[in-house]
Amino acid sequence: MVSSSLVLYHNRQGDVDKVLDSVLNSRIDIIIVVDHSINDNFKVLAAKSNKVKYFHRFNDGYGSGHNFGFKESQKIIKSDYHIVLNPDIYFESSAIDCLISFMDSHKDVGLVMPKVFYPNGDFQYLCKLLPTPYDIFLRQFASKSLKDRNDDKYAMKTANFDIEMDVPSLSGCFMFFRSECFNRINGFDTRFFMHFEDIDITRRIGEIARTVFFPGTFIVHAHEAAHKKSKKMLLIGLQSAIKYFNKWGWIIDKRRSLLNKEASLYDRE
């Protein structure tokens, strides 16, 4: 069985309808909608299907919301797999079929992410190396040419995205977990209100199972980089970066070096 969770915060109705329609037309058995918006206007979503369970609660962060969604889903079904969904994604039912089949036949995988495209068909480079403080500094303060050169390496842009790859950092826009693994690590680290929670959880899943990019299917992601649009979100992102490096190491992080070296072997150049 497959459970899923969706965390909302004043999202566009059209986007939410798209992701819900994708869920309801697939083999996903239940979706827990966790609404962190000030109002509860999205409560009407529960009328769409008995698969939809709606909760309006205080905003304690993206990861915390999904942890709540996972726990509530497991009160209703004991799922084999749990999907963390962004409100700006959509997919065909065949995508879920492919991912279930992949996970069923790869018992050593704890987390998988498919190909991700923009609505216009452009590929999104969402497989990443583990970040260093240098990467974060360049992203915020370097010249565009220097930043772009570094981002090409950080986002593994020269890798072969037509093959299965073990990747140390997968995007939080669509995370297909083995429920047993998600439960074993107690889900997201709630110290990360927003940003870096996906890097952190991929790394923790990677300590007990494989974290894999699977090119056999895809989803569509209308990506919105909120941290680039708001000074507040930029500050939250920097706070999360500090928490991440305090946890895993700033300059000395031997595990990061090893995982990044292994991921670089997929480089086609």
Q: What pLDDT score does 232 carry?
A: 84
Q: Which residues contact 33 (CB under 8 A, 6 or more apart)?
A: 5, 6, 8, 20, 42, 45, 46, 52, 53, 54, 55, 69
User: What tens digit of pLDDT does each residue of 183-229 get?
Assistant: 999 999 999 999 999 999 999 999 999 999 999 999 999 976 554 55
Architecture of domain 2-127+164-225: Alpha-Beta Complex (3.90)
- Residue 93's CB is within 10 A of a number of other CB atoms, namely 14
Q: Which residues contact 260 (CB under 8 A, 6 or more apart)?
A: 129, 130, 168
Q: How far apart (Å, rounded) are the C-alpha atoms in residues 259 and 129?
A: 8
User: What tens digit of pLDDT does each residue of 123-168 get?
Assistant: 999 999 999 999 988 877 777 778 788 888 999 999 999 999 999 9
Q: Which residues contact 252 (CB under 8 A, 6 or more apart)?
A: none
Q: Residue 30 is which amino acid?
A: I
Q: Is the pTM of this model over 0.85?
A: yes
User: What tens digit of pLDDT does each residue of 41-51 get?
Assistant: 999 999 999 99
